[in-house]
Chain A
């Protein structure tokens, strides 16, 4: 027995015959991962101690993924059915399934035209499917595809190329780290480790959010905002900093077009309006602003939800106006990662629109599509109104692995391989390009996203425009990526070096958009940036958010993750719960204009009075909560009293 002093001694005790270093692709932090295999199965996984960002650490989700690989519910055969009401017919012949799909798509195109097909994809979770979808859509003749990270060409923001950027392990250099509606302790715990280390070295950690989050619990200074007002806080901070005596406007005068007009746009917003919208006092905003006006470096970390709200351009504008980012450990770090679409050659792909827009179109009856192709659990995570979306479609095609909502709404199902089963390129939220080595072979019958789109392209005779397709139906990813990535961003990459050192970055700070010099102006009416007003009978503001880990939607196939996530919990403030006569842990009903679900009350001051938060999808940001033995009308009476 060894009684020596213990420090950090990594490794496995389990018998293995192969060890593979790769990259975890459960989130955009892209931690280094070491997988140990014995007889073709994963026997153990650990973080890669040599990885510069993760330093051997892994989060709960980054370990629990292995349960999905061999999960008995996983689907590895192609399937199709005539209507959603009948069971699937499964087929082991994947090529035959693609033949059938190509025939159906051809008929739809001939009859209704190219715009009758819609495609949704998420480059952050499945890069080769997304880029393959973009190329296929361009060849098909679509003007746009849908993604949770749209191209944002319509937003008035600076070019990312003009904004210096540093990876999360540089946060330790920051004097102040400012989290805005970002909870990396829950969503990106490994990256948050660097924020804690920065704080230990003397940085100030400031957090602004409507919830008292895990990250906020570690902050030196906190600000509780009204829900969905993070970008408006950016406006308020910009206004405060402009009004601050001694503000140096050299950068504004030299970099901004129409600097006076831009500055006036902030003068015309009233502090009273800002205070009312944000739910915080001018004094609190000024205190935060004074900290940010202090010594550099300063890093602003924004949450994923802000990207879909009006006024997102304020963060790049603020950074540009203040000159943040000129030294290491300084700048704007959006947790939603990066706009991957802008690294693709613009002429080769159609425009990329937000999935939220697709849902709006669908709800408004403005969607003329007859077919929809989507990946993974896209319907669960990305599409908030799947019922509306799939109701009038002739063909729904799901490229996935599990019998989730996407599978339920599909008329054709093509089984996908999981990220651990393919060697592929991935990007990190640190804007790095990484090569991830596969851990184990995929089950027979499953294919990669690129194989799927390449296979379809082959059937339409587009092999020349879809490079990398091999005779056996598989696709050479490197050949494809080389053809689709912008030359100016990726020139000089030695793909062989990249592939031979999995997990090591090869590119950093790629160009995002064409250079712009127009900052975001403050809106004439603050109301245009504000969240919706209260509407009875749904008086509570609702936030759909993971409460413990970022495992929502996949827990059914990862029991380890499911038991730590409170998937059916709804957080209610004690004052609100008292009015509604709800006890902690009690079964409650939570209803929105779209649906009503059962939930378990979690009474906590993590949420503000008059709001609720849960991982449950209610398809709305307004809800009502009531006891299971009560009617919503009764509960409304209690609440209004």
Chain B
């Protein structure tokens, strides 16, 4: 069941910066460790793009790909038991007590995010580290990322960070003689 975002509380999102991602997959292992997952499901994955031709050289980027915690999640609508739900803070997650492992959510999701945990027979997907967030902790993938390519914050703070970074860059510019 999708809860209306009626109280206008700021929602936190997982932000990824491909310019900083080096494809080291630390986030993948941190996520697996945090959720105690067997080999197989990877709630966050690094997608390598390239090398592709660009001007007279090559370019290659890495895109951390995880659940987008959609505003109107198809997986939530499709879930027959109500296990998949969207919290008031925007995180989309599955309640393991209600999940029957039917994988309808996996079919409904246009991005192929939900995957079956073969050990438990339940759906496994990025839950935004809801249990950590509820204790005031950052998601595991964000904490471990060696290059700070991942961050978890609301858009207001993200914009503020971007402004700070930009102003730092301005300060480093020196006037040309």
Contact = CB atoms under 8 A, between A and B. Distances in A.
A196 B144 contact: no
A57 B149 CA distance: 12
Mostly helix, strand, loop or mixed at chain B's interface?
mixed
Interface string A169-196: 0000000000000000110011011001
Contacts of A202: 172
A58 B25 CA distance: 11
B146 interface: yes
Which residue among A193, A561, A562 has the maximum number of chain B CB atoms within 10 Å of its CB? Answer: A193
Q: Report, as a range, how many residues of chain A touch the other chain.
A: 35 or more
Contact of B153 (A5, A215, A564, A606): A5
B138 A10 contact: yes
Nearest to B157: A5
Contact of A214 (B23, B143, B145): B23
Interface string A204-232: 00000000101111100010000000000
A496 interface: no
A68 to B, nearest CB: 13
B33 A218 contact: no
A217 B87 CA distance: 38
A207 B20 CA distance: 16
Among A12, A57, A549, A606, max chain B CB count under 10 A is at A57
Contacts of A46: 143-144
Interface in B1-26: 9-12, 20, 22-26
B33 A59 contact: no
Interface string B9-50: 111100000001011111011101110001110100000001
A13 B135 contact: yes
Nearest to B135: A13
B102 to A, nearest CB: 25
Interface in A1-27: 1-13
Contact of B51 (A201, A212, A560): A212
| Interchain residue pairs A-B with the least CB separation, the first 3 | A189-B24, A185-B22, A217-B60
Interface of B: 9-12, 20, 22-26, 28-30, 32-34, 38-40, 42, 50-51, 57-62, 87-89, 131-138, 142-148, 151-154, 156-157, 165, 169, 172
Given A13-B137, A218-B22, 20 more contacts: A3-B11, A4-B136, A5-B10, A5-B154, A6-B152, A10-B137, A13-B131, A44-B34, A46-B144, A57-B26, A60-B28, A64-B29, A189-B22, A189-B24, A189-B26, A196-B147, A215-B22, A217-B51, A222-B57, A564-B29
25 contacts: A1-B89, A2-B134, A3-B12, A5-B154, A6-B12, A6-B154, A7-B157, A9-B138, A10-B138, A46-B144, A58-B26, A59-B146, A60-B25, A63-B30, A192-B146, A193-B148, A200-B165, A200-B169, A212-B58, A214-B60, A217-B50, A217-B62, A559-B38, A564-B25, A605-B51
